[in-house]
Amino acid sequence: MSKKFIIAAPSARGYARAAVACGYEVIALDAFADEDTQRVTIQTFKLKMHENGVDENDFKRIFSSINLVDVDGFLYGSLFDNASDLLAWVAERVPLLGNAPEVLKRAKDINFFKLLDDLKITHPEVRLALPEAPSNWLAKKIGGSGGMHIRPAEQAKIGNYFQRKVAGTSISMLFVADGKSAQTIDFNQQLVAPTNEMPYRFAGAVGAIALQPNICATFKHAAQQLTSALNLRGLNNLDAILDGETLWILELNPRLSATFHLYENLLHLHLEGCAGKLIDFKPQANTSNAQLILYADDDLGSAADFTWPDWVTDIPSAEGEASSVKISQNTPICSVLAQAENAEAAHVLVQQRAKKLREMLNDKTRHLPMA
């Protein structure tokens, strides 16, 4: 009998596909219930989302409708970054295959930066009060994810903290841990799709970037210190800004992250790490993958018979008797994929494909009033 997982994330497709490839049945809970996810799962539930994340009442209603008798474990992405109590509610009902709720809570709390200070890990200065000269500061939400919560400090709202803005390139380190030791998977560059309202909106990543040995060593040392301090297990992601020779650590994501999709199936490494074991991982040589989220510039309506290229995933599903696809302005249309011999070439290719796809959609689709 196949083992069965529940996987919950804003977009569960990549994790679900990896689990199915490893022989598991999957029940997915995510914000889109796209065609790709439905195709590989035995059940897919579409969650209600709002500005602050998942609707907890809707999540509990859906989760409570699932028969948990044959469920072997629960895997999760960024859905719980500001809802660790909801994750704890889940953990009372089914085994978690990832870091415990209290670990997530510590990583997503303002006191995380005190931990960085205690470990002597370099990070941008943070404050709870709005600085007197806020022009070089950013406002962030505690537990925010996806970059959509980040604003210039002048646009701060209640509940935000403030982080000094530093120049540089957004990069990350994907690693697996067994509670004691951290093992590097690889390093990645993060991509953004800025708007006036969301200048730091996350748009994907490019994998297997080349970094100087001293920067790699700094990243690895930080990951090891945090693993020891927080008893990290499974896959984790450490975000940073690289400014010349300085690596500024921004945040720890102690759960499955978007960079999971940039490498060959990492689920086995994650499960073994959760069980307290590390196994060897060797990334593909001379290969880099990129994934770019294509957002809708305007409300978009199209016929469901659009022919999507084979380098596209997270394809939106048709709704209603008219079999139409409706996508609201500034929400994801799909994800564009690319693979090349190095990170630079993969970055160029994914951007070229995204531009081509947008042109194809503009030719095929029409703008419709949204209900």
Q: What is the pLDDT of residues 44-68, one digit of tens each?
A: 999 999 887 899 999 999 999 999 9
Query: 273-316, pLDDT tens digit by residue?
Result: 999 999 988 877 889 999 999 999 887 766 567 889 999 998 88
Mean predicted confidence (pLDDT) in 188-212 = 94
Residue 369 belongs to some domain of the structure: no
Query: 326-346, pLDDT tens digit by residue?
Result: 788 888 999 999 999 999 999
- Residue 25 belongs to domain with CATH number: 3.40.50.20
Which of 316, 295, 292 minimizes the C-alpha distance to 305? 316
Within this chain, do residues 265 and 293 fall inside the same structural domain, yes or no?
A: no
Residue 115 above 80 pLDDT? yes
CA atoms within 13 A on the CB side of 115: 21
The residues pairing with 253 across neighbouring beta strands, listed in sequence order, are: 237
Query: 70-95, pLDDT tens digit by residue?
Result: 999 999 999 999 999 999 999 999 99
Residue 263 belongs to some domain of the structure: yes
Residue 116 belongs to some domain of the structure: yes
Residue 110 above 60 pLDDT? yes
Residue 53 belongs to some domain of the structure: yes
How many CB atoms sit inside 10 A of residue 357's CB?
19
Query: Exposed (0-12), middle (13-18) or buried (19+): which is 287, by Cβ within 10 Å?
Result: middle
How far apart (Å, rounded) are the C-alpha atoms in residues 209 and 85?
35
How far apart (Å, rounded) are the C-alpha atoms in residues 200 and 292?
14
Residue 354 belongs to some domain of the structure: yes
Within this chain, do residues 251 and 327 fall inside the same structural domain, yes or no?
A: no
* Percent of residues, the chain, with pLDDT higher than 70: 93
pLDDT for 28 equals 98
The residues pairing with 295 across neighbouring beta strands, listed in sequence order, are: 332
- Domain boundary, last residue among 274, 305, 321: 274
Kindly compute the dihedral angle of the four CA atoms of residues 146, 148, 150, 152, in this order, to the nearest 10 degrees. Answer: 150
Mean pLDDT of the residues in the chain = 92
Residue 59 belongs to some domain of the structure: yes
Residue 237 belongs to some domain of the structure: yes
Residue 105 belongs to some domain of the structure: no
Q: How confident is the model at residue 197 (pLDDT cuts 50, 70, 90)?
A: confident
Mean predicted confidence (pLDDT) in 165-183 = 97
Domain range for 354? 288-364
- Domain boundary, last residue among 97, 126, 157: 97
Q: How many domains does the chain have?
A: 3
How many CB atoms sit inside 10 A of residue 337's CB?
22
- Domain boundary, last residue among 74, 97, 120: 97
Residue 320 above 60 pLDDT? no
Higher pLDDT, 359 or 223: 223
Residue 323 above 60 pLDDT? no
Residue 370 above 90 pLDDT? no
pLDDT for 367 equals 42
